[in-house]
Homo-oligomer: A and B are copies of this chain.
Amino acid sequence: MRKVAVVGVGHTDFTAGSSKTQLELMSEASMDAIISSNLKPEDIQAIFCGNVLGDFSEGQGMIQSYLADNIGCFNVPASRFEGACASATMAIRDAFLWVASGFYDIVLVGGVEKATTMGTPLATRTFAMFHDSRYEYPAGFTFPAFFALLTHLYADKYNLPLEKLKEQMAQVTVQSHQYGLNNPHAQFRKEVTVEKVLNSFMVSTPLQLLDCCPFSDGAAAVVLASEEAAKKLTDKPVYIAGVGQASSGKLSSQYKALPRLKAREVSVKQAYDMAGVKPEDIDVCELHDCFSIASIIAAESLGFSEFGKAGELWEKEQTKIGGKIPINISGGLKSKGHPIGATGASQVYEITRQLRGELVDQSRQVEGAKVGLVDTLGGDGVIVNIVLRAE
């Protein structure tokens, strides 16, 4: 296997109610990634694109094919990946192999979504299709309900008073908004307080509004290149050192493990082992904080904390810059926004910029960061992890 580097990145603003189409958003992010890689569209040998709801949100399927046409990558192979919120990370892991194997030297990969077109209540119902929609959705399992259940299970399993856990969860939200304030692409650039989180309206007991990330519109893209090609294109290549992916299946199949998502433990082990790193080697992490409790659960399976204790990381500010493991310095899904099929590419964008040391101006730089981790959760339990390393 050859080494594969991220050589350029692109990212649109994440917003609600974008007036642009998916194709426009994805073209914008893609061209930014291509131009910042010192490349032209005709240099791209293949396209990999994450997208979930394109047919529902604007009646356009197979976005990748129109993307290839729109940005001038004529007749290249272009594939769409769907793995719910993990779609773009799934596409990046796949694109990685096409370069690592020697099949292609330079490829474009990213994701896009217009998730706000439907309005929030309908979006939640629509997105429940990426749960088990035959048996579990009719029983009330939308995603807020799923994570509400996990919150109760977590409090119970680890003997943590629910009020205590909710305070820790509120701290997750507060930190995300604090960093998101300085992310120019973020959807919600405003600070919140623990009090404000705990006084926001109840969505699905015990999850309140500010425990929940929004749906968003936006796109992100990266260009991957072989080591040899990368060295000609950039003096700051960031290598994909390890990848992992696993699917847990429906909620009821996971009842013995919950609130842990076993797929994450399987997936991140693959990524760590391939990269030859351990959790303590990770300098900065973007993880899938679709709900505040999701951050706490993820941090444990990723190896950053004992099980039942991750809330303390946020409580003790160990997840901030300067802490033990800086997490979601982008603002995370909570503040930056969550355009479903784009989220994984946005995470890789963020970690790449951290490892290149480019976030000083935004007061969000984790100084000296060399190894970063991306963690994306799709649906009930599809996990994709990517370890990135600056060398």
Contacts and interface: CB of A to CB of B under 8 A. Distances in A.
A53 B62 CA distance: 11
A132 B66 contact: yes
A55, A90, A253: residue with the most chain B Cβ atoms closer than 10 Å: A55
A343 interface: no
Contacts of A78: 83, 247, 382
Given A55-B56, A249-B70, A62 B378 contact: yes
Interface in A126-160: 129-130, 132-134, 137
Interface string A35-70: 000000000000100001101101111101110111
B245 A69 contact: no
Nearest to A68: B247
B266 A60 contact: no
Nearest to A1: B101
Given A80-B81, A84-B62, A382-B65, A262 B101 contact: no
Interface stretch (A92-100, A191-199, A203-211): A92-100
A132 B60 CA distance: 7
A307 interface: no
Nearest to A380: B65
Contacts of A98: 97
Given A82-B62, A101-B1, A75 B248 contact: yes
A131 to B, nearest CB: 9
A293 to B, nearest CB: 21
A324 interface: no
A318 interface: no
A381 interface: yes
A378 to B, nearest CB: 7
B83 A81 contact: no
Given A68-B249, A101-B1, A382-B65, A82 B80 contact: yes
A382 B66 CA distance: 10
Interface string A76-115: 1111111110000010011001101111000000000000
A93 B97 CA distance: 13
Interface string A323-334: 000000000000
7 contacts: A55-B56, A56-B56, A66-B132, A66-B249, A75-B263, A75-B266, A100-B101
